[in-house]
Amino acid sequence: MSVADAIRAKLTTAFAPQRLDIYDDSDRHHGHAGARDGGESHFRVMIVATAFEGLSRVDRHRRINETLAEELRAQVHALALTTLTPDEAARRM
């Protein structure tokens, strides 16, 4: 299973998102700290979930980091997050 697939599976299970976009940006970081041959070290995630209602941005990120703790320890060097409730996502469109 790829790192992106593992991220998708864990976030889907934990947050039941209405939208989940995962982008592997590793190719943009070739030669930088934490970059690995074969990529899958730098990710950008956009997640929309009702589970974020009532939570601050810091608390949302904290919960995602806890959910992905294994990946962050072993494989993922950088994780950029956009975390929205469905209402927040609708206002952005």
Q: Which amino acid is at 89?
A: A
Say which residue, 92 or 47, is predicted with more confidence: 47
What's the CA gap between 68 and 86, in Å, rounded?
Answer: 22
Angle at 58 between CA 63 and CA 76, to 5 degrees: 55
pLDDT tens sequence across 26-38? 866 555 565 555 5
In the chain, domain spans? 3-92
DSSP per residue, 15-49: H--SEEEEEE-GGGGTTSTT--TT--SEEEEEEE-
pTM: 0.86
pLDDT, position 46: 98
SS3 call for 59: helix
Specify the CATH class of 3-92 in words: alpha beta
Q: Which amino acid is at 30?
A: H
